[in-house]
Homo-oligomer: A and B are copies of this chain.
């Protein structure tokens, strides 16, 4: 956006505005910068591939959780990660890192070949538009769990464990941290080596209740439990 508040929509959004919403010059919309800024805006110019908008006054953005939330989500079967990304973007996660684990049924090669990360980034934008959130989570390309671990992640690490494993504290019993990463496993759970690796990184095993959660629902349940248990939303 330039100093006068005029700017071009990203191409995807320009297409969505003209083809799906069928809006034209003069239409009143809201625009957001993905970093918490939201403004009223007017469609100023529509050409074949571009939409220029003139931004107006700032709009009060919805209140984000008072904690920096990162999700490390294991690759799941089929398109299930689409829902995980959509839900995480909705509920206040700041960064969504997909990791390939030993029991993930999708290989790294398949994930990269099919351009999934690009798809997840589009899903995150569309989830924000649907829910009116103004902070866009980053969605880096997938890496293996081992690669992720080698980045020496900072902040509090929480690893979701199956209640049947007999371990795991209630999230509210873990002291609150300003920066937290929730690590969620694949359908088949963690291997002992992976749990050892996470423990070595200092991860605290947590669980949400005594029932077994589906892998594609565990992240949403975990984030909700964390935000309510820590009273940070």
Q: For the complex formed by this chain, how many copies does it contain in all?
A: 2
Known: A225-B224, A227-B225. A209 touches B65 (CB 8 A): yes
Q: Which of A15-23, A34-42, A110-118, A129-137 contacts B (4 or more CB under 8 A)?
A: A129-137
Interface size for A (C-beta < 8 A) is 36
Q: How far is the CA of A224 from the CA of B208 in the complex (A)?
A: 8
A78-101 CB contact bits vs B (8 Å, 1 = yes)? 000000000100111000000000
A182-208 CB contact bits vs B (8 Å, 1 = yes)? 000000000000000000000000001
A127-148 CB contact bits vs B (8 Å, 1 = yes)? 0001111000000000000000
A-B contact pairs, 30 of them (CB 8 A): A62-B210, A63-B209, A63-B211, A64-B211, A90-B211, A90-B212, A90-B213, A91-B209, A91-B211, A91-B217, A92-B209, A130-B214, A131-B211, A131-B212, A132-B164, A170-B231, A170-B233, A171-B228, A172-B228, A172-B229, A172-B231, A208-B227, A209-B233, A220-B221, A222-B224, A224-B224, A224-B225, A224-B228, A225-B227, A228-B229
Which 10 A-B residue pairings sit nearest by Cβ, starting from the closest?
A63-B210, A209-B233, A225-B228, A224-B224, A228-B229, A221-B224, A131-B212, A224-B225, A62-B210, A62-B211
